[in-house]
Amino acid sequence: MTATREAPAGYDAWMEGIPLWKTVPGASGYEASYRGKVRSLTRRNRAGARIRGRLLSARQKGGSDDRYLIVGITFDNGDRRTMTVQDVVLLTYEGPCPPGLIRRHWNDVPTDNRWAPGGELGCLNGYGNLVYGDDPSNRADRRRNNPKPPKVIRLCEPHGQPCKGRSATRCAECIRLFGIEAAALLRSGLTPSEAARRLGYRSPEGLVQQAARYGGYREASLTASLVLLAGVIARSG
Protein backbone atom coordinates (compact mmCIF):
# COMPACT_ATOMS: atom_id res chain seq x y z
CA MET A 1 0.00 0.00 0.00
CA THR A 2 1.50 3.35 -1.07
CA ALA A 3 1.02 6.41 1.07
CA THR A 4 -0.53 9.35 -0.76
CA ARG A 5 -0.49 13.00 0.23
CA GLU A 6 -2.45 15.92 -1.16
CA ALA A 7 -0.30 18.80 -2.37
CA PRO A 8 -0.41 21.68 0.16
CA ALA A 9 -1.15 25.27 -0.76
CA GLY A 10 1.77 26.84 -2.58
CA TYR A 11 3.15 23.49 -3.70
CA ASP A 12 3.14 24.26 -7.42
CA ALA A 13 4.89 27.58 -6.87
CA TRP A 14 7.51 25.93 -4.67
CA MET A 15 8.20 23.30 -7.32
CA GLU A 16 8.23 25.78 -10.22
CA GLY A 17 11.10 25.09 -12.57
CA ILE A 18 11.66 21.55 -11.27
CA PRO A 19 10.70 18.87 -13.81
CA LEU A 20 8.05 16.47 -12.61
CA TRP A 21 9.95 13.60 -14.24
CA LYS A 22 13.73 13.23 -14.58
CA THR A 23 15.89 10.51 -16.08
CA VAL A 24 17.41 8.17 -13.51
CA PRO A 25 21.21 8.65 -13.69
CA GLY A 26 22.81 5.70 -15.46
CA ALA A 27 19.43 4.24 -16.43
CA SER A 28 18.23 6.19 -19.45
CA GLY A 29 15.22 3.91 -19.87
CA TYR A 30 13.70 5.07 -16.57
CA GLU A 31 12.44 8.25 -14.99
CA ALA A 32 11.61 9.19 -11.43
CA SER A 33 9.11 11.76 -10.22
CA TYR A 34 9.55 14.05 -7.25
CA ARG A 35 6.14 12.79 -6.19
CA GLY A 36 7.71 9.42 -5.43
CA LYS A 37 6.93 7.44 -8.58
CA VAL A 38 9.18 5.56 -11.00
CA ARG A 39 8.36 4.70 -14.59
CA SER A 40 10.01 2.97 -17.53
CA LEU A 41 10.16 4.55 -20.98
CA THR A 42 9.19 2.97 -24.25
CA ARG A 43 12.40 1.44 -25.62
CA ARG A 44 13.84 -1.49 -27.50
CA ASN A 45 15.72 -4.33 -25.87
CA ARG A 46 18.95 -5.82 -27.19
CA ALA A 47 16.99 -8.07 -29.54
CA GLY A 48 15.28 -5.03 -31.03
CA ALA A 49 11.87 -5.78 -29.58
CA ARG A 50 9.80 -2.76 -28.56
CA ILE A 51 9.04 -2.52 -24.85
CA ARG A 52 6.23 -0.19 -23.91
CA GLY A 53 6.92 2.17 -21.01
CA ARG A 54 4.81 1.96 -17.88
CA LEU A 55 4.51 3.17 -14.33
CA LEU A 56 6.40 0.67 -12.20
CA SER A 57 4.44 -1.17 -9.56
CA ALA A 58 6.42 -0.81 -6.38
CA ARG A 59 6.21 -3.62 -3.87
CA GLN A 60 7.08 -3.55 -0.23
CA LYS A 61 10.38 -4.94 0.87
CA GLY A 62 9.78 -8.06 2.91
CA GLY A 63 6.04 -7.90 2.24
CA SER A 64 5.33 -5.88 5.38
CA ASP A 65 3.09 -2.83 5.44
CA ASP A 66 5.70 -0.76 7.26
CA ARG A 67 8.68 -1.46 5.00
CA TYR A 68 10.24 0.43 2.11
CA LEU A 69 8.93 0.24 -1.42
CA ILE A 70 11.21 -1.36 -4.02
CA VAL A 71 11.34 -1.50 -7.82
CA GLY A 72 13.53 -3.21 -10.41
CA ILE A 73 15.76 -1.00 -12.58
CA THR A 74 17.89 -2.08 -15.56
CA PHE A 75 20.87 0.25 -15.98
CA ASP A 76 22.50 1.20 -19.26
CA ASN A 77 25.40 -1.18 -18.60
CA GLY A 78 22.96 -4.08 -18.41
CA ASP A 79 22.94 -4.42 -14.63
CA ARG A 80 19.54 -5.24 -13.18
CA ARG A 81 19.11 -3.91 -9.64
CA THR A 82 16.38 -3.96 -7.05
CA MET A 83 16.33 -0.53 -5.45
CA THR A 84 14.17 1.25 -2.92
CA VAL A 85 12.02 3.99 -4.39
CA GLN A 86 13.59 6.44 -1.94
CA ASP A 87 17.03 5.64 -3.37
CA VAL A 88 15.85 6.09 -6.95
CA VAL A 89 14.12 9.42 -6.24
CA LEU A 90 17.00 10.90 -4.23
CA LEU A 91 19.58 9.70 -6.75
CA THR A 92 17.60 11.32 -9.55
CA TYR A 93 17.00 14.70 -7.91
CA GLU A 94 19.99 15.11 -5.60
CA GLY A 95 22.58 12.65 -6.78
CA PRO A 96 24.36 9.95 -4.75
CA CYS A 97 24.12 10.12 -0.97
CA PRO A 98 27.02 12.26 0.35
CA PRO A 99 29.51 10.51 2.66
CA GLY A 100 28.42 10.53 6.29
CA LEU A 101 24.77 11.14 5.46
CA ILE A 102 21.78 8.83 5.24
CA ARG A 103 18.36 8.89 3.59
CA ARG A 104 15.63 10.33 5.82
CA HIS A 105 11.87 10.02 5.73
CA TRP A 106 10.87 13.23 7.49
CA ASN A 107 7.51 11.84 8.64
CA ASP A 108 8.85 8.30 9.18
CA VAL A 109 6.35 6.89 6.67
CA PRO A 110 8.57 4.61 4.57
CA THR A 111 6.06 4.49 1.71
CA ASP A 112 5.92 8.28 1.36
CA ASN A 113 8.70 8.93 -1.14
CA ARG A 114 8.03 12.52 -2.17
CA TRP A 115 11.28 14.40 -2.63
CA ALA A 116 11.60 17.56 -0.53
CA PRO A 117 13.39 20.32 -2.43
CA GLY A 118 15.03 22.72 -0.03
CA GLY A 119 15.73 19.99 2.51
CA GLU A 120 14.12 20.40 5.92
CA LEU A 121 12.50 23.69 4.94
CA GLY A 122 10.60 21.86 2.21
CA CYS A 123 9.54 19.21 4.73
CA LEU A 124 8.40 21.83 7.25
CA ASN A 125 6.18 23.39 4.59
CA GLY A 126 4.74 20.00 3.66
CA TYR A 127 6.31 19.97 0.21
CA GLY A 128 8.05 16.64 0.54
CA ASN A 129 9.36 13.91 2.78
CA LEU A 130 12.69 12.63 1.43
CA VAL A 131 15.94 14.38 2.35
CA TYR A 132 19.55 13.51 3.03
CA GLY A 133 20.67 14.03 6.60
CA ASP A 134 22.89 12.73 9.38
CA ASP A 135 22.04 10.06 11.90
CA PRO A 136 21.23 12.48 14.78
CA SER A 137 18.69 14.19 12.50
CA ASN A 138 17.17 10.81 11.67
CA ARG A 139 16.84 10.01 15.38
CA ALA A 140 15.24 13.42 15.91
CA ASP A 141 12.70 12.50 13.24
CA ARG A 142 11.76 9.37 15.19
CA ARG A 143 11.37 11.32 18.43
CA ARG A 144 9.27 13.99 16.74
CA ASN A 145 7.02 11.48 15.01
CA ASN A 146 6.73 9.12 17.98
CA PRO A 147 6.42 11.31 21.07
CA LYS A 148 6.31 9.62 24.44
CA PRO A 149 2.80 9.37 25.84
CA PRO A 150 2.10 11.76 28.70
CA LYS A 151 2.69 10.40 32.15
CA VAL A 152 -0.52 9.11 33.68
CA ILE A 153 -1.21 10.72 37.04
CA ARG A 154 -3.48 8.62 39.19
CA LEU A 155 -5.74 10.37 41.65
CA CYS A 156 -6.88 8.84 44.90
CA GLU A 157 -10.62 8.39 45.23
CA PRO A 158 -11.17 9.98 48.68
CA HIS A 159 -9.38 13.28 48.03
CA GLY A 160 -8.86 13.49 44.28
CA GLN A 161 -5.17 14.23 44.78
CA PRO A 162 -2.18 12.71 42.92
CA CYS A 163 -1.14 9.37 44.36
CA LYS A 164 2.20 9.37 46.07
CA GLY A 165 4.94 6.77 46.40
CA ARG A 166 4.92 3.14 45.40
CA SER A 167 1.36 2.48 46.52
CA ALA A 168 -0.09 4.40 43.55
CA THR A 169 -3.45 4.38 45.36
CA ARG A 170 -2.94 6.94 48.17
CA CYS A 171 -2.23 10.64 48.09
CA ALA A 172 -0.17 12.47 50.72
CA GLU A 173 -3.29 13.18 52.79
CA CYS A 174 -4.35 9.51 52.60
CA ILE A 175 -0.94 8.43 53.87
CA ARG A 176 -1.07 10.92 56.73
CA LEU A 177 -4.53 9.77 57.81
CA PHE A 178 -3.44 6.14 57.46
CA GLY A 179 -0.51 6.75 59.84
CA ILE A 180 -2.83 8.34 62.40
CA GLU A 181 -5.28 5.44 62.20
CA ALA A 182 -2.46 2.89 62.41
CA ALA A 183 -1.10 4.60 65.53
CA ALA A 184 -4.55 4.52 67.14
CA LEU A 185 -4.88 0.78 66.47
CA LEU A 186 -1.45 0.05 67.88
CA ARG A 187 -2.23 2.07 71.01
CA SER A 188 -5.46 0.09 71.41
CA GLY A 189 -3.39 -3.04 71.89
CA LEU A 190 -3.40 -4.59 68.43
CA THR A 191 -0.15 -6.08 67.21
CA PRO A 192 1.38 -4.64 64.04
CA SER A 193 0.29 -7.75 62.12
CA GLU A 194 -3.29 -7.46 63.41
CA ALA A 195 -3.41 -3.74 62.61
CA ALA A 196 -2.00 -4.38 59.14
CA ARG A 197 -4.66 -7.01 58.42
CA ARG A 198 -7.44 -4.74 59.62
CA LEU A 199 -6.25 -1.89 57.42
CA GLY A 200 -5.45 -4.12 54.46
CA TYR A 201 -1.77 -3.22 54.60
CA ARG A 202 0.68 -5.92 53.62
CA SER A 203 3.72 -4.74 55.61
CA PRO A 204 3.51 -4.66 59.42
CA GLU A 205 6.94 -3.02 59.50
CA GLY A 206 5.79 -0.28 57.15
CA LEU A 207 2.63 0.23 59.16
CA VAL A 208 4.65 0.86 62.32
CA GLN A 209 6.84 3.34 60.48
CA GLN A 210 3.80 5.23 59.20
CA ALA A 211 2.28 5.20 62.68
CA ALA A 212 5.48 6.71 64.08
CA ARG A 213 5.84 9.33 61.38
CA TYR A 214 2.26 10.57 61.18
CA GLY A 215 0.59 9.31 64.32
CA GLY A 216 3.27 9.98 66.91
CA TYR A 217 3.48 6.33 67.92
CA ARG A 218 6.37 6.49 70.42
CA GLU A 219 7.02 2.78 70.73
CA ALA A 220 7.58 2.60 67.00
CA SER A 221 11.31 2.09 67.13
CA LEU A 222 11.21 -0.90 69.48
CA THR A 223 8.07 -2.36 67.94
CA ALA A 224 9.42 -2.05 64.43
CA SER A 225 12.62 -3.79 65.46
CA LEU A 226 10.68 -6.65 67.04
CA VAL A 227 8.41 -6.96 64.03
CA LEU A 228 11.38 -6.97 61.68
CA LEU A 229 13.15 -9.59 63.79
CA ALA A 230 10.03 -11.75 63.84
CA GLY A 231 9.79 -11.52 60.10
CA VAL A 232 13.41 -12.56 59.65
CA ILE A 233 12.96 -15.52 61.97
CA ALA A 234 9.78 -16.61 60.18
CA ARG A 235 11.44 -16.46 56.77
CA SER A 236 14.55 -18.32 57.90
CA GLY A 237 12.49 -21.02 59.55
For the segment 109-156, what is each residue's pLDDT rounded down to a tens digit? Answer: 999 999 988 888 888 888 889 999 999 999 999 999 998 888 777 777
- Give the mean model confidence (pLDDT) for residues 2-26: 75
DSSP element (H, E) containing 65: none
Average pLDDT of the chain, as a whole number: 84
State residue 120's pLDDT score.
85
pLDDT tens digits, one per residue of 166-175: 656 778 888 8
Per the CB < 8 A criterion, the answer to whether 129 and 123 are in contact is yes
Nearest to 31 by CA among 1, 67, 2, 71: 71
> What length is written for the chain?
237
Q: What is the share, in percent, of the chain residues with pLDDT greater than 70?
A: 83
pLDDT tens digits, one per residue of 49-91: 888 999 999 988 776 555 899 999 999 998 999 999 999 999 9
pLDDT tens digits, one per residue of 212-223: 989 888 764 555
Q: Which H, E and C letters describe 66-85, residue by residue? A: CCCEEEEEECCCCCEEEEEH
pTM as predicted: 0.61
Q: How many CB atoms lie within 10 A of CB 5?
A: 16
Largest CA distance in the chain: 105
DSSP state of 47: T
pLDDT tens digits, one per residue of 164-214: 766 567 788 888 888 999 999 998 989 999 999 999 888 898 899 989 989
What CA–CA distance (Å, rounded) separates 109 from 20? Answer: 22
Q: Could you give the domains of the chain? A: 11-145 (3.90.75.20), 149-232 (no CATH)
What CA–CA distance (Å, rounded) separates 23 from 11? Answer: 22
- H helices of the chain, where? 11-14, 85-94, 120-124, 135-145, 172-187, 192-199, 204-215, 220-236
User: Given the DSSP bridges, would you call strands 43-44 and 80-84 parallel, antiparallel or unpaired?
Assistant: unpaired
